[in-house]
Structure 1
Amino acid sequence: MTVRIGLSEIGDDAPVYVIAESGLNHNGSVETAIQLIDVAADAGAQAVKFQKRTPAISTPEHMKNTQRDTPWGVMTYLEYRYRVEFSREQYIEIGDYATLRGLDWFASPWDEPSVDFLEDLNVVAHKIASASVTDISLLQALAATGKPIILSTGMSTLAQIDRAVEVIGTERLVILHATSTYPLPAEEANLCMITTLQQRYPGVPVGYSGHERGLQISIAAVTLGAVAVERHITLDRTMWGSDHAASLEPTGFEHLVRDIRVIGEAMGDGVKRVFPGELAPLAKLRRVSA
């Protein structure tokens, strides 16, 4: 089964769908968001993703009044969440620019009003963050849109994932294996879960959302059959913010996409044949014919 998002098909016979996760790495700056879109497009990704919150709803109560040091001074966590949110007009500017650069763009809505917000902007798909896997009301609102849904599965049990899939349905679903440790150590990557998810949800495209430093684990995910790869991107890993350390800088992301495309060509179809490039060595080196 394949799922179409924008101009791309996602599935076994399609190129790996690469999602550049801007998330909150724009730090509330439209200019930075546009630079991140350029990073995604220049590297050859198919999509760029953001996050959308209604902070008063999506921020856990125990976190709202927590004090946080920010580039804009000390403020509560709730104030910070509002500080990095984009308005409708800003999202229109960002979304239009992504479209002009040839990218699909969408976001992870963290609450039901954010679903309505993104639907008003006619996004091509929705992404469910790992933290939202158990938010049944949010899942129901997303399922009601009829849009393709990408489901990350970090910090979740198989029973919780089963329940989410039951609510969403499988007709337009892409599942991403993820471990929500930032940055991700190799011993927690658990890449064999890609196979587990493929077997548990037959016909549903399965990909990988990575939070590790470096490229190796994401590349290995592709060799295990991941049909989509999502990675956080940043202009500079030393920038202020919680996700930058687990993100790829422009050169690293460019190399990741390059290597994913090479692997896509190299995987083949599993049918043994003598390739044209082997004919000259065959004629030169084989002493005994079959």
Structure 2
Amino acid sequence: MTPAQNTTDIRTRRIGERPVGPGHPVYVVGEIGINHNGSLEDAFALIDAAAEAGCDAVKFQKRTPEICTPRDQWDVERDTPWGRMTYIDYRHRVEFDEDDYRAIDAHAAKKGIDWFASPWDVPSVEFLERFENVRAHKVASASLTDDDLLRALRATGKTVILSTGMSTPRQIRHAVEVLGSADILLCHATSTYPAPAEELNLRMLDTLARAYPNVPIGYSGHEIGLQTTLAAVALGACFVERHITLDRANWGSDQSASVEPQGLVRLVRDIRIIEQSLGDGVKRVYDSELGPMKKLRRVQGDLAEAS
């Protein structure tokens, strides 16, 4: 085994049946989050869109509202598409229960696409562990400093995807120490919705790869447009996550930074083209070049490999 192969192997993780890491196809996730706005019909439509685009998985967010909502915000009223209601009622309104997730689990299986979620509290980890088809867990950037949550996720033994937005290098290092590096995947992210191009800092992909040489590095994007996500793939991201929506004009804080179905098709298509184009870095003369060489090169050199 060559050193390069060995490095690739130790930076490979598994999500379901798929190996994820350098040398493997980019694992593409359509982040549904709460863009379904509590509608199971919309969740199904988003799963369908992700599957049709060629995504490997869709991701949701799971919260226990009474734990994740500050107590002083519970009774604050706000306008919603369903009328004026307290914030705690709104948080319940956009959460799916176990029956809903059973339906999501069945629908995703029917479409041949993985699904998992970002649990925001320990009871939500326990909730997600009831589903055999949940093969990984995601730590939202906002939860990176929650050691109790990280320990609960580590105890599942599943691959944990850790987003690093709004976090310092010291906080990231601590989270990796709590989770352990053997079963994690790190995602560079900027936690602004939408994130401006000048704050994406895509060179952090290389910084993370050098800081954590045994960990695969991915990208969770919150920008508008597709170009910078594609650039992340060209820079080595082996995991890509983008929020998806049926319509960017829909109600909700994440909608404007999300990708609509037709954009998602283009994104996955172009990721696969970039994968093919990157190659292995070994210079060679392709058979397809021999004809142009014979026609265009005035002085033919020796094609033998140098010893």
TM-score bin (small chain): over 0.9
2:183 maps to which of 164, 172, 178: 172
- Distance change (3 Å), C-alpha of 1:239 and 1:203: same
Q: Which residue is equivalent to 1:272?
A: 283
Q: Which residue is equivalent to 2:98?
A: 88
Q: Which residue is equivalent to 2:304?
A: none
1:14 maps to which of 16, 24, 36: 24
2:33 maps to which of 12, 17, 23: 23
Please tell me whether Structure 1 or Structure 2 has the larger radius of gyration of its CA atoms. 2
Question: Secondary structure in 1 aligned to 2:185?
Answer: strand
Residue 199 of structure 2 corresponds to residue 191 of structure 1 = no
- Following superposition of structure 1 onto structure 2, how do residues 204-215 of structure 1 map, counting pairs within 5 Å? 204-215=215-226
Aligned-partner Cα distance in 1 for 2:220–2:37: 21
Q: Post-superposition shift, 1:65?
A: 3.0
Q: Percent identity?
A: 61
Q: CA RMSD in A?
A: 0.8
Question: Secondary structure in 2 aligned to 1:19?
Answer: strand
Unaligned runs of 5+ in 2: 1-10, 302-307
Aligned-partner Cα distance in 1 for 2:161–2:212: 14
User: What CA deviation, in whole Å up to 9, does each residue of 1:79-126 have, x standing for no partner?
Assistant: 111001101011010011112211111000000000000001131110
- Following superposition of structure 1 onto structure 2, how do residues 61-76 of structure 1 map, counting pairs within 5 Å? 61-76=71-86
Q: Post-superposition shift, 1:247?
A: 0.1
- Following superposition of structure 1 onto structure 2, how do residues 103-182 of structure 1 map, counting pairs within 5 Å? 103-122=113-132, 123-182=134-193
Residue 290 of structure 2 corresponds to residue 287 of structure 1 = no
Aligned-partner Cα distance in 1 for 2:274–2:261: 20
Q: Which residue is equivalent to 1:52?
A: 62
1:247 maps to which of 247, 254, 258: 258
Question: Secondary structure in 1 aligned to 2:47?
Answer: helix
Aligned-partner Cα distance in 1 for 2:271–2:177: 31
TM-score by length of 2: 0.93
1:34 maps to amino acid? F
2:122 maps to amino acid? E
Q: Post-superposition shift, 1:62?
A: 4.1
Aligned-partner Cα distance in 1 for 2:54–2:214: 27
Q: Post-superposition shift, 1:203?
A: 1.6
Unaligned runs of 5+ in 1: none
1:255 maps to amino acid? R
TM-score by length of 1: 0.98
User: What CA deviation, in whole Å up to 9, does each residue of 1:123-145 have, x standing for no partner?
Assistant: 11100000000000000000011
Where in structure 1 do 4 or more consecutive aligned residues deviate above 3 Å?
Answer: none
Deviates more, 1:104-113 or 1:70-79: 70-79
Q: What is the number of equivalent residue pairs in this alignment?
A: 290
Q: Post-superposition shift, 1:63?
A: 3.2
